[in-house]
Amino acid sequence: MATPMEAWVEEAARLTKPDQVVFCDGSEAENQNILQTMLNQGDSYQLNQKTYPNCYLHRSNPSDVARTEHLTFISTPQKDDVGPTNNWMDPEGAKFKVGKLLDGAMRGRIMYVVPYIMGPAGSPISKVGVEVTDSPYVVASMRIMSRMGKVATDQLGNSSDFVPGLHSIGDLDPLRRYIVHFPQERLIWSVGSGYGGNALLGKKCFALRIASYMARQQGWMAEHMLILGLESPGGRVTYMAAAFPSACGKTNLAMMVSSLQDMGYKVWTIGDDISWMKIGPDGYLRAINPEAGFFGVAPGTSMKTNPNVMAALHHNTIFTNTGMTPEFEPWWEGIGTEPPPGLITWRGEKWDPSKGVAAQPNSRYTVPAKQSPSIDPRWEAPEGVPISAFIFGGRRARLAPLVYESFNWQHGVFVGATMASETTAAATGDVGITRRDPMAMLPFCGYNMADYFQHWLEMGKKIPHPPKIFHVNWFRKGADGKFLWPGYGENVRVLKWILERVEGRGSAQETPIGYVPTRNGLTLEGLKIAPEALDELFRVDADNWATDLADSKEFFAKFGDRLPAEIRKEHEAVGKRFQQSVPA
């Protein structure tokens, strides 16, 4: 008798009508086959096998280079269940409309069946998914990003407990592109895109949208968070999970080389994007990284910004839409070298300055996580690592101080819910447009975000040893429009303060928005920074906060009565604290 997985694959094949169905086992021989198929399709290149062994460059269709949020839907019977921040389709309508696009979509193609585990094999927090796809690039990428093949089939056995994902690149026409989630069925349908988060269904579709829905039902958390360990003198490692909107250096923080290494502070990486967390038997929130690789933005990645990932990228890596040198090496803006003569752009043309950038701004590397020198020895621990601190962040030129600590869990949830980031506004030093992005989950929450805030509030009551909640801002600017904080490896100084606060040490002063470090709170040894810059970094400006509170109030109003009363209360409380605080 067919297993539930086989039965579903048969159903998917009946709809999409491939010439052939291939079940993937994840072996190296199979991988070589898939890579060869990629090369034969003409959109991929083998890179320099001396300097980049087993590395490939893939070029996606120029109209298909990023996630497409306006074509991403959550499909539930009630529109209100997805809330004002998600696109909605009713399930019957979605099945009909997208079903028509999938009908026969794999004619003349191979359907690959990719069983995969999100999370370490055997972990009680891990989950199995099965993606069928007609893209060999997706298969090769899923092999890096998840535990794929036999290991997953073995874990699944005859169980029906898996998340099915049906993916076809279709004809790549953006007018016929849909990424649809059916959270009640735990089903994903994606057609018309071969790119990243649209096509590697284990990542944003399963590990965030479907998983966040399951997590609420089952009392755990699926978050858009990196996980890092901060080692302190004596060798103890304290784990923190952090959420940032895009373009805030999340991967770089997860893989940071600490500037306080000599003092005994070192950063270890568990994950750079997603965290699944369950309350452990010890009462701590236990986190795993559901992924097995990093799918990171290439431009701007260099020995200065992320030496760990640079060290990892020289073997077994798939590059997507980067430039390529005549030596068949990948190249991108900000890699740290000048554009070499004979450079080829991501579109396959000879580069010259009139062509603009050589690497597509959202070009990527896909690399096994274990290749990073910073990977934590416990990164695959089945029980997960205990999380002591949550860190929220954003890009705020004038508003948020370098770091502050929330007063308690409920206030911390409010801090996460009011997260926002300013779009990077060119050289003028202008403050950009503020885009609200609660917990960095705006495009990734599989249900109504008002209910998501409620879930956070409830988790706080259930966790015996909840993480403390912090907010950081590496991007505060002075009156001259220049960044006040050096960032990168120096950010460890902020992590050190967070660690000290977790341990009940670390000196802080109370402000209306939370606790900020006192003048001597941050370790500044070996760092050249003007006292005025520090003052500005920690200044809490009542007028700026009043403006931001008005903005977040408007955002929260979208949720109507569904918004938890606690969030409204916290919002009012900040305003009151500003009124009561005596100006210095």
Q: Which residues are catalytic?
A: 248
Q: Which of 356, 358, 321 is nearest to 337 (CA)?
A: 358
Q: Which is nearer to Mn ion, 244 or 414 (CB)?
A: 244
Q: Which is nearer to ligand SAT, 15 or 226 (CB)?
A: 226
Check if the beta carbon of residue 529 is closer than 8 Å to that of residue 415.
no
Asked if 497 and 403 count as a contact pair (C-beta separation under 8 A), the reply is: yes
231 vs 273, beta carbon nearer Mn ion: 273
Q: Does 204 bind ligand SAT (CB under 6 A)?
A: yes
Q: DSSP letter string over 119-131?
A: SSTT-TT-EEEEE
With CB under 6 A as the contact rule, the residue among 67, 127, 286, 493 that binds ligand SAT is: 67
Tell me how far the alpha carbon of residue 246 is from its chain's centroid: 8
The option from ligand SAT, Mn ion, none interacting with 196 (CB < 5 to 8 A, set by class) reads ligand SAT
- Residue (146 or 552) nearer to ligand SAT, CB: 146
Q: With CB under 6 A as the contact rule, which of the stretches 195-203, 275-283, 448-456, 531-539 interacts with ligand SAT? A: 195-203
User: Interaction with ligand SAT in 131-190: which residues (CB under 6 A)?
Assistant: none
- Please pick, from the candidates 196, 299, 393, 438, the single residue that binds ligand SAT as defined by CB under 6 A: 196
Kindly tell me which of 273 and 490 has the beta carbon lying closer to Mn ion: 273
Query: At its nearest, how many Å lie between Mn ion and the CB of residue 325?
Result: 28
CB of 576 to ligand SAT, least distance (A): 37
Residues 209-268 touching ligand SAT, rule: CB under 6 A, are 246
Closest contact distance (angstroms) between CB of 370 and Mn ion is: 20
- Residue at 554: amino acid letter: E
To the nearest whole angstrom, how small is the minimum distance from the Cβ of residue 61 to ligand SAT?
15
The backbone region for 311, taken as left when phi is positive above 0, alpha when psi lies in -120 to 50, beta otherwise, is alpha
Distance of CA 169 to CAs 37, 379, 445, Å? 16, 33, 24
Per partner kind, with CB cut-offs from 5 to 8 A, the member of ligand SAT, Mn ion, none near residue 476 is none
The least CB distance from residue 114 to ligand SAT, in Å, is 16
Site for ligand SAT in 274-303 (CB under 6 A): 295
State the nearest-atom distance from the C-beta of 273 to Mn ion, in Å. Answer: 4
- Contact call for residues 568 and 556 (beta carbons, < 8 A): yes
Q: Encoding tokens for residue 513?
A: 């928005």
Phi, psi angles (nearest 5°) of residue 438: -55, 130
Sign of torsion over alpha carbons 182, 187, 190, 191: negative
**Partner that binds at residue 295, options Mn ion, ligand SAT, none, CB closer than 5 to 8 Å by kind:** ligand SAT
Best CA proximity match to 417, nearest among 396, 439, 399, 434: 439
Q: Determine the size of the site formed for ligand SAT (CB under 6 A).
A: 7
**Which residue sits closest to Mn ion, CB atoms considered?**
273
The continuous run of DSSP H or E covering 217 comes out as helix 211-218
SS3 breakdown of the chain: % helix, strand, coil, rounded to 5? 30, 25, 45
316/321 with CB nearer ligand SAT: 321
Residues in the chain: 584
480 φ, ψ (degrees, to nearest 5): -80, 0
State CA 569 to chain mean position distance: 30
Nearer to ligand SAT, 155 or 363 (CB): 363
Q: Do residues 106 and 16 make contact, with C-beta atoms less than 8 angstroms apart?
A: yes
Nearest distance in Å: CB 295, Mn ion: 8
Q: Which amino acid is located at 120 in the chain?
A: P
Minimal distance, residue 246 CB to ligand SAT, in Å = 6
Contact at 8 Å (CB) between 386 and 286?
A: yes
| Contact call for residues 440 and 243 (beta carbons, < 8 A) | yes
Report what 203 binds from ligand SAT, Mn ion, none; CB cut-off 5-8 Å by kind: ligand SAT
Judged by CB under 6 A, which stretch of 186-194, 197-205, 211-219, 328-336 contacts ligand SAT?
Answer: 197-205
Integer Cα distance of 22 and 36 in angstroms? 15
Closest residue to ligand SAT using C-beta atoms: 197
CA distance 515 to 403: 9
Contact stretch for ligand SAT (CB under 6 A) within 3-11, 196-204, 347-355, 460-468: 196-204
**Contact in structure between 288 and 120 (CB atoms under 8 Å):** yes
Joined together, the tokens standing for residue 10 give 């048969």
| Residue the block writes with tokens 């500044």 | 524
204 binds, among Mn ion, ligand SAT, none (CB under 5 to 8 A by kind): ligand SAT
DSSP letter at 204?
Answer: I
Given the rule CB under 5 A, which residues bind Mn ion? Answer: 273
Q: Which segments of 183-220 are extended strands (E)?
A: 187-191
CB of residue 206 to ligand SAT, shortest distance in Å: 12
* Least Å from the CB of residue 569 to Mn ion: 31
In terms of CB distance, is 122 or 174 closer to ligand SAT? 174
Residues 6+ apart with CB under 8 A from 316: 53, 54, 55, 144, 367, 368, 371
Give 276's strand partners.
222, 288
User: What are the tokens at 177?
Assistant: 């592109």
Rounded to a whole number of angstroms, the CA Rg of the chain reads 24
| Cβ-contact 368, 292 below 8 angstroms | yes
Which of 294/545 has CB closer to ligand SAT? 294
Dist CA 221 CA 145 (whole Å): 20
Q: Which C-beta is closer to ligand SAT: that of 190 or that of 325? A: 190
Residues at the interface with ligand SAT (CB under 6 A): 67, 196-197, 203-204, 246, 295
